[in-house]
Amino acid sequence: MIAQPKLAIAGLQMEFLRRRTSSSMVVIENLDLDIRDHEFVTIVGPSGCGKSTLLNIVNGLLSPTSGTILIDGAPAAARRSRLGVVFQDASLFPWFTVERNVGYGLECLGTPRSEIRARVAPLLEMVGLSAFGSHFPHELSGGMQQRANLARALAIDPEILLMDEPFAALDAQTREIMQSELLSIWTRTHKTVLFITHQISEAIYLSDRVIVMSARPGRILADLHIPFDRPRALSIKRDPEFTAAEEHIWELLEAQVRSALETNVARGG
Partner 1 sequence: MTVAPLPANVPRTSGRTAPRLTPRQERLLLRTIGVVGFLVVWELAARLHLYNAILLSSPSAVIGAGFGIMTSGTVWRHLWASAVELAAGLVISTVVGVAIGVAAGWSRRVNYVLDPWLTILNATPIVALVPLLIFLLGIDFAAKVFLIVLFSVFPIALNTLVGVEGTANRYLGVARTYRASNARILRTVVMPGTLPFILAGLHIAVGRALVGLVVAELVAGNEGIGYLLSLYGVTLQTPKLMFLVFVLGLTGLALSAAVGRVERRLERWRPVRR
Interface positions with partner 1 (CB under 8 A)? 59-61, 80-81, 83, 85, 87, 90-91, 93-96, 104-105, 107-109, 136-138, 156
| 49 neighbors 260 (Cβ within 8 angstroms) | yes
Which residue, 40 or 104, has its beta carbon nearer to partner 1?
104
Which residue, 110 or 269, has its beta carbon nearer to partner 1?
110
CB of residue 193 to partner 1, shortest distance in Å: 16
Residues 6+ apart with CB under 8 A from 141: 174
CB of residue 134 to partner 1, shortest distance in Å: 11
Which residue, 90 or 233, has its beta carbon nearer to partner 1?
90
CB of residue 16 to partner 1, shortest distance in Å: 17
In whole angstroms, give the CA distance from residue 70 to residue 78: 10
Which residue, 89 or 176, has its beta carbon nearer to partner 1?
89
Phi, psi of 37 (to 5 degrees): -60, 140
Phi, psi of 84 (to 5 degrees): -105, 135
CB of residue 60 to partner 1, shortest distance in Å: 8
| 168 neighbors 134 (Cβ within 8 angstroms) | no
- Residue from 168, 133, 170 nearest 151 by CA: 133
